[in-house]
Structure 1
Amino acid sequence: MRPCCSSRSSPALLPIWPFPHTNPGRRFARPTTAERTMAPPPPELIDDVAAEIFLRLPPDEPEHLVRASLVCKPWLRVISDPDFLRRYRTFHRTPPLLGYAYRLRIHEEDPEPRLIPTTAVPLTPNPNFRRAIDCNHGRVLLHAYDEDYYYYLIVWDPVTGDRQSVPEPEIDWLIYSAAVFCAVSGCDHLNCHGGPFRVVFIATDERDSKCRGVKACVYSSETGAWSRPVTLGDGCQTYVHHMQDGRNCGYYGRFDIPYVQPRRGAVIGDEIYFTVHKDAAIVKYDCSKNCLSMINAPSKDQYNIALMEMKDGSLGFVYIKGSNLYIWSRKVNSEGAAEWVKFRVIKLKTMIPTANSHDKLYVVGAAEGVGVIFVSSSAGLFTIKLNSGQVKKVNEPGVYFSILPYMSFCTPDCGKIIARKAEDSLISDVPCN
């Protein structure tokens, strides 16, 4: 017996082509040539494969990771996953340079109080402040005052927007510097957001007639208090020689005290290093012992210098003499004594442009970890990448004294992405200067 219907006689068994047509009569028609050549939709990326691709996006261009997270919900889920973010930071190891603030020379007015971004992803809005003092471990240390001109410090996280006020220490200062850093022992500083911190404040006090000189103390966010101030005194033999040399040449005048330079210091473990004016000497504050000491510089005739942490954890000393950039490292020798070792010399004669051939170059900062040195010339502010020699202009000419590089991972957070996407302001198409 023949079946009651066949593929030849039943229109219901004819192939149905899922292409839209304006003519209803073509519903069951065969596809046109153009329709047959249409490619099928691409298969969705498996989450593990997508994560491996996203893992390799450069951290110093965080806009790529942010844009990828806005494509679809599955990608957002992968990128905002805490395990992926942990892997991403571990894979790249070093927090990238996201921006910088700067200090001008002492006789100049304070620059515009803002953190200048170096990427297309905008950071959180700048707080109201007078001047920037330091950047370390994902935090920026700012000096501010209220409407009654009461001075205080602000510890600001530009990625999360978190701000904490810190009272000024009880030190009468003429000139000062300070450093902020993570207080968690053994931290790798890849994701220090929201953790406890410390602030070291160091200053030259000339008002205290009984105890004038360099003083320092440390603030702990865990206790909410400053330590007892300590003074650099005659117990440090290097300091005694430094003071004697100053008296012999009449350098210090009637005050007879060294002056802390208001430039960024170097944080290496529990030891924080700053510079004083004469002979480019270095003052070390040891947080664990709450004491000050002094170290001689490898070259005493330098004024424009930068301190930095080297890859091996030693103290680095950078300056320019003539047309060469010198990098020294303070190493511990076989006898257990620390000594300066010349690490590298870079010829800058044709690398950094100047407005005139006789104009000088000045080192004004260093971004440790990423291997970037900031150099100021009459043609502008430039960065030099030590591993490649690449030079990039980042700002116009100015009387720069100390560059404060801000380094942190800027990875997408699910809640912030959705909120900012609604405002349509997450990514700026305006190129960064």
Structure 2
Amino acid sequence: MSEEGGEIAHRHGSSPAAPASLPDGDDLLREILLRLLPEPSSLPRASAVCKRSRRLVTDPKFLQRFRTRHGKKPPLLSVFRCLDNFVFIPILDPPDRISPECFSLHSANQVLRCRHGRVLVKCRLRKEAVVCEPISGEQRCVTISPEFNMGFFNGTVVCAAGDLGHVHGGCHSSPFKVVLVCMCREDNRALACVYSSETGIWGNVISTAAPCELWDMGAPATLVGNALYWLYMSNGMLEFDLDEQSLSVITGPPITDDFRRRQIIQVEDGDVGLVTLSYPSFQMWERKVNCHGVATWFVRKTVGIHNILGLPSQLEEWERGMESILGYTEDTDAIFIHVDSNVYMA
């Protein structure tokens, strides 16, 4: 009896091991989603599975973790050609390929800028700009502010989301801003105006303190920090500060290269820079501003493009002077150049 009682007491005195805590359902699914391939179609396809997946993959914190985990820059989705008509040319293979049928703009005259998953195009005949989202196929028409000369204006689109941890590129439902610049006919001063998708109206027109020769065709804006930069025909740049809502003229580096061989970029330090093409090399300039507000340009580095792209060290006589910089993508930090009737990405 005592032994049996002791045995019973022993059993009752021992606490059974607590069961291991199971991970939260969201946490488990989140870890699975983080391991998807970093391809454009991965998260959209996952979001179509159920509401729960859609909620997780659209969360800014998850998008930040996904981008950090894979450490991969977003791919180039397409290119645009505007000769006799406006053509959207996809680059990627299925299932990441965007169908040309979902992006059709017959009245478009010019692509002004692609940024943060959106495309801004000019429709001169309809006196409006159109903000397009190639992935979703959505388009939003913005009537141009009457102060602007429809024959000579440039512009760009930027994401307006300011929440902490926001990841550009996955922000198709976020608010945006359209910034247009043009020349004032009376005194040749540059003008700027900002449209907000949240309010649906244009802000006040802002002008530079001094005249400048703003270039329209082939000179899209470059976003550096929270400021936009445009090249203009003489040796300088137009700067629009998105925070201060100010427009100013900046003197460029002491160069004499053809305008078609220059491109504003963002350098590694986050400063504004300028790349000049002097075949067979690129020269990269950087602008530094000291504590007294004095700006200085200096050559950061020189790179031989024939070593990178496998191009000849010298061009044929008839090819010389025809090379040019066609554009620059901020997300992938790539420059497109035209050499020998071909386009290269460096």
- 1:99 maps to what in 2? 77
2 CA distance for matches of 1:287 and 1:373? 24
Residue by residue over 1:396-421, the C-alpha shift from the partner in whole angstroms, topping out at 9 and shown as x without a partner, is xxxxxxxxxxxxxxxxxxxxxxxxxx
Q: Which secondary structure does the structure 1 equivalent of 2:76 belong to?
A: strand
Q: Call closer, same or farther: CA 1:161–1:95 in 2, change over 3 Å.
A: farther
Unaligned runs of 5+ in 1: 1-45, 104-108, 240-256, 385-433
Residue by residue over 1:25-82, the C-alpha shift from the partner in whole angstroms, topping out at 9 and shown as x without a partner, is xxxxxxxxxxxxxxxxxxxxx978854642xx344xx46x489969xx79x9879952
1:208-223 mapped onto 2 (5 Å cutoff):
209=186, 211-223=187-199
- 1:407 maps to what in 2? none
Residues matched between the structures, number: 298
- 1:374 maps to what in 2? 336
Residue by residue over 1:293-350, the C-alpha shift from the partner in whole angstroms, topping out at 9 and shown as x without a partner, is 1111114312121112234321121121131111222223354433223222111235
Is the counterpart of residue 273 in structure 1 residue 229 in structure 2?
Answer: yes
- 2:316 maps to what in 1? 357
Residue by residue over 1:217-239, the C-alpha shift from the partner in whole angstroms, topping out at 9 and shown as x without a partner, is 111111211122222234xxxx6
Q: Aligned partner of 1:118: which letter? A: I
1:138/1:193 contact within 8 Å kept: yes
Residue by residue over 1:384-407, the C-alpha shift from the partner in whole angstroms, topping out at 9 and shown as x without a partner, is 1xxxxxxxxxxxxxxxxxxxxxxx
Of structures 1 and 2, the one scoring higher in RCO (CA 8 A, sep 6+) is 1
- 2:15 maps to what in 1? none
Q: Aligned partner of 2:234: which letter? A: K
**Which of these two proteins has the greater Rg computed from alpha carbons?**
1
Residue by residue over 1:177-218, the C-alpha shift from the partner in whole angstroms, topping out at 9 and shown as x without a partner, is 101001122544242211111111111233xx3x44322211
Is the counterpart of residue 199 in structure 1 residue 178 in structure 2?
Answer: yes
1 CA distance for matches of 2:340 and 2:53? 47
Residue by residue over 1:233-259, the C-alpha shift from the partner in whole angstroms, topping out at 9 and shown as x without a partner, is 34xxxx6xxxxxxxxxxxxxxxxx623
TM-score, normalising length: structure 1:
0.60
Q: Aligned partner of 2:112: which letter? A: I
Question: What is the aligned counterpart of 1:155 among 109, 131, 135?
Answer: 131
Q: Aligned partner of 1:152: which letter? A: E
- 2:281 maps to what in 1? 324
Q: Which secondary structure does the structure 1 equivalent of 2:198 belong to?
A: coil
1 CA distance for matches of 2:221 and 2:265? 8
Q: Call closer, same or farther: CA 1:92–1:48 in 2, change over 3 Å.
A: closer
Q: Aligned partner of 1:214: which letter? A: A
1 CA distance for matches of 2:177 and 2:45? 36
Question: What is the aligned counterpart of 2:345 among 383, 391, 403?
Answer: 383
Q: Aligned partner of 2:141: which letter? A: S
Is the counterpart of residue 127 in structure 1 residue 84 in structure 2?
Answer: no
Residue by residue over 1:341-366, the C-alpha shift from the partner in whole angstroms, topping out at 9 and shown as x without a partner, is 32221112353537953424322222
Q: Call closer, same or farther: CA 1:49–1:199 in 2, change over 3 Å.
A: closer
2 CA distance for matches of 1:159 and 1:357? 42
Is the counterpart of residue 113 in structure 1 residue 86 in structure 2?
Answer: yes
1:24-423 mapped onto 2 (5 Å cutoff):
51=33, 53-54=35-36, 57-59=37-39, 62=40, 65=42, 81-82=56-57, 87-92=65-70, 95-101=73-79, 110=83, 112-120=85-93, 121-123=96-98, 125-128=102-105, 129-144=108-123, 149-170=125-146, 171-185=148-162, 187-206=166-185, 209=186, 211-234=187-210, 258-262=213-217, 263-279=219-235, 281-302=236-257, 303-304=259-260, 305-333=262-290, 335-350=292-307, 351=309, 353=311, 357-358=316-317, 359-360=319-320, 361-384=323-346
1 CA distance for matches of 2:200 and 2:72? 30
2:129/2:144 contact within 8 Å kept: yes
1:143/1:154 contact within 8 Å kept: yes
Residue by residue over 1:137-181, the C-alpha shift from the partner in whole angstroms, topping out at 9 and shown as x without a partner, is 111001126xxx422111111112222111112212542210100
Unaligned runs of 5+ in 2: 1-27
Q: Which secondary structure does the structure 2 equivalent of 1:88 belong to?
A: helix
2 CA distance for matches of 1:67 and 1:290? 35
Which structure's residues are more often strand, by fraction?
2
Q: Call closer, same or farther: CA 1:79–1:51 in 2, change over 3 Å.
A: farther
1:308/1:366 contact within 8 Å kept: yes
Q: Which secondary structure does the structure 2 equivalent of 1:97 belong to?
A: coil
